[in-house]
Amino acid sequence: MSTLLSLYGLKFNPFRPDVPIDALYTSPQIDSFHDASSSASPTAASP
């Protein structure tokens, strides 16, 4: 498996659940989406 990872220049298997957060790339679009969604306040539905 390590030869397959090195063949594609990967340090971690991207399909494993224990991939370090630092190993994941977030594009500027994802960062702006995260910032916009975290600043939005949820509204409670009235019965």
Amino acid at 3: T
Q: Is the pLDDT of residue 44 over 70?
A: no
* pLDDT for the residue 43: 56
Residue 13's closest CA among 2, 22, 21?
A: 2
| 21 belongs to a structural domain | yes
* pLDDT for the residue 18: 85
* pLDDT for the residue 38: 65
What pLDDT, in 10s, does the model give residues 3-40?
777 777 877 787 888 888 877 778 888 778 877 766 65
| 32 belongs to a structural domain | no
3-state secondary structure 1-47: CHHHHHHCCCCCCCCCCCCCHHHCCCCHHHHHHHHHHHHCCCCCCCC
Instruction: Give the domain extent around 1.
Output: 1-25
* pLDDT for the residue 12: 77
Q: Domain total for the chain?
A: 1
| 20 belongs to a structural domain | yes
Quick one: tokens of 16?
């494993």
